[in-house]
C-alpha cells in the first residue's frame, strides 16, 4: 500500500497525504507488533487522565541520570512530581537496564511543565527502533513542543575528559547506514512527512542558550559541543571501530538518542541533545583500561548535581524561548 497519492499539477509532482498507517502492522520479524496512531492516542489519554500537568518540554534521562540512587538526580528534582510506572501505561514497553528506573515523571522544573522519562528503551534490550522511540510520539500527543535527550557516552575526542558535558551539535546515524531507522515502514502523515530533513536536527537557538547558561553557571570549562553517534550495543566498541568513528568526525559514542531525535524531528518537536562523557574511548591497543557500565553509572552519580542544575536552568530558558516564538 502506498502512503501517498501522487498526481501532477503544472508539470510538478504533488503528493496528497493519506492517513495510511494500518491499525496494527504485521510483526516485524521479532515479535513486536507496530502500534497504530489510535493506540498511541490511547496511551497519551491515559497519561493525561493520571496527571494535571500539561507538559511542554519532554526530557529523556540518560544512564545514571534518572535517579538510580533515588535522590539528587535530574528526574528527582522535578517539583510536585507525579510518577507513573511504565508497567501501568497501556502499550508501553518496560525498562530492563540498570540505571533506568522505568517511570514517567510529570511536574515542573523552574515553573515549566515537564514530563521526564526516568529510563529509556534501547535497541540492545531487544526492542526495534520504532518501539524505543514510541515515548517520543506519546510526548508529542501529550502536547510537548521540545525534547531534551540526555545520554551517557564515551568520549572519543581526545580533548574530552570524563565528566565533561557535550552539547550535541549533530549526529551520525550509523544504524541508519545499514537501513535500520525508526521511521522504517509505512509513514503516518499525522506524525510527519515521509522524508523529513535532518540538517537542522539540533536547534541552533537552544545550543546558543546552553552555552550562555554554561557561562552563567561557571561550568563552561566542562561544556563542549560535538557530534554524537549511536551504535546498537550492548558491547562497547573495539579499538578499530573507535578509530574509524574518530576519522569520520565523531566526538562521542553511545547507544541511544539518534533514533529518538529522528522520531522527534519527524513529528516537529524541537530538540536539544546533551551527552555526559562517562568514559574514555579506547583507541590504542597499548591502553590497559576498558569501558564498563559501572563506571558509566558512577560518573552519572558524580555529575548529577551539575547536570540537575544545568538542565533545570535550560528548561527554564527553553520554556521562555518557547513562549517568545
Return the one option of ligand LQZ7MJT6, ligand GUN, none that residue 81 interacts with (CB less than 5 to 8 A, by type). none
Q: Which of 256, 262, 272, 308 binds ligand LQZ7MJT6 (CB under 6 A)?
A: 256
Contact code string over 83-112 relative to ligand LQZ7MJT6, x by CB under 6 A: --------------x---------------
Task: Report in angstroms how near the CB of residue 296 gets to ligand LQZ7MJT6 at its nearest.
Answer: 4
Return the one option of ligand GUN, ligand LQZ7MJT6, none that residue 253 interacts with (CB less than 5 to 8 A, by type). ligand GUN
Write the DSSP string, 158-199.
TT--TT-EEEEEEEE-HHHHTT--TT-S--BTTT--SS---T
Q: Is 122 a catalytic residue?
A: yes
The C-alpha cell that represents 92 in the structure block = 508501553
The catalytic residue among 77, 151, 256, 275 is 256
Pairwise CA distance, residues 250 & 276, whole Å: 15
Write the DSSP string, 88-120.
GSTT-----STT---EEEEEEETTEEEEEEES-
Residue 154 in contact with ligand GUN, rule: CB under 6 A: yes
Residue whose cell numbers read 555526559: 276
Contact code string over 47-76 relative to ligand LQZ7MJT6, x by CB under 6 A: ---------------xx-------------
Q: Is 63 a catalytic residue?
A: yes
Q: Which of 136, 148, 152, 274 binds ligand GUN (CB under 6 A)?
A: 152
Residue whose cell numbers read 579506547: 282
Whether residue 165 contacts residue 276, with contact meaning beta carbons closer than 8 Å, is answered with: yes
Pairwise CA distance, residues 275 & 254, whole Å: 9
Q: Which of 89, 138, 209, 255 binds ligand LQZ7MJT6 (CB under 6 A)?
A: 255
Write the DSSP string, 4-40.
EEEEEETTEEEEEE-B---SSPPP-SSS-PPPPHHHH
Q: Which of 236, 272, 310, 318 binds ligand GUN (CB under 6 A)?
A: 236
Amino acid at each position: 500500500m502506498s502512503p501517498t497519492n501522487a498526481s501532477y499539477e503544472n508539470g510538478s509532482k504533488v503528493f496528497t497525504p493519506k492517513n495510511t498507517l494500518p491499525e496494527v502492522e504485521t510483526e516485524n520479524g521479532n515479535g513486536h507488533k507496530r502500534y497504530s496512531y489510535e493506540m498511541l492516542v490511547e496511551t497519551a489519554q491515559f497519561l493525561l487522565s493520571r496527571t494535571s500537568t500539561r507538559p511542554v518540554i519532554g526530557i529523556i534521562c540518560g544512564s545514571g541520570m534518572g535517579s538510580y540512587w533515588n535522590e539528587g538526580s535530574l528526574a528527582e528534582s522535578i517539583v510536585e512530581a507525579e510518577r507513573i510506572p511504565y508497567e501501568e501505561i497501556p502499550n508501553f514497553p518496560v525498562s530492563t537496564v540498570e540505571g533506568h528506573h522505568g517511570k514517567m515523571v510529570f511536574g515542573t522544573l523552574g515553573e515549566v511543565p515537564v514530563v521526564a522519562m526516568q529510563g529509556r528503551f534501547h535497541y540492545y534490550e531487544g526492542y526495534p527502533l520504532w518501539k524505543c522511540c514510541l515515548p517520543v510520539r506519546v510526548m508529542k500527543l501529550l502536547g510537548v513542543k521540545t525534547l531534551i535527550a540526555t545520554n551517557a557516552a564515551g568520549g572519543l575526542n581526545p580533548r574530552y575528559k570524563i565528566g565533561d558535558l557535550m552539547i550535541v551539535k549533530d549526529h551520525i546515524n550509523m544504524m541508519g547506514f545499514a537501513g535500520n531507522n525508526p521511521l522504517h515502514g509505512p509513514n503516518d502523515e499525522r506524525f510527519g512527512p515521509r522524508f523529513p530533513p535532518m540538517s537542522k536536527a539540533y536547534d541552533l537557538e537552544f545550543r546558543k542558550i546552553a552555552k550562555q547558561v554554561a557561562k552563567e553557571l561557571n561550568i563552561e570549562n566542562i561544556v563542549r559541543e560535538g557530534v554524537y553517534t549511536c551504535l546498537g550495543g550492548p558491547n562497547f566498541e573495539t579499538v578499530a571501530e573507535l578509530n574509524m568513528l574518530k576519522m569520520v568526525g565523531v566526538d562521542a559514542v553511545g547507544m541511544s538518542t539518534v533514533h529518538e531525535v529522528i522520531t522527534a524531528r519527524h513529528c516537529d518537536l524541537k530538540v536539544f541533545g546533551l551527552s555526559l562523557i562517562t568514559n574514555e574511548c579506547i583507541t590504542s591497543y597499548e591502553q590497559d583500561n576498558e569501558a564498563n557500565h559501572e563506571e558509566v553509572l558512577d560518573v552519572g552519580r558524580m555529575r548529577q548535581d551539575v547536570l540537575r542544575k544545568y538542565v533545570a536552568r535550560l528548561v527554564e530558558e527553553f520554556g521562555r524561548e518557547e513562549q517568545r516564538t
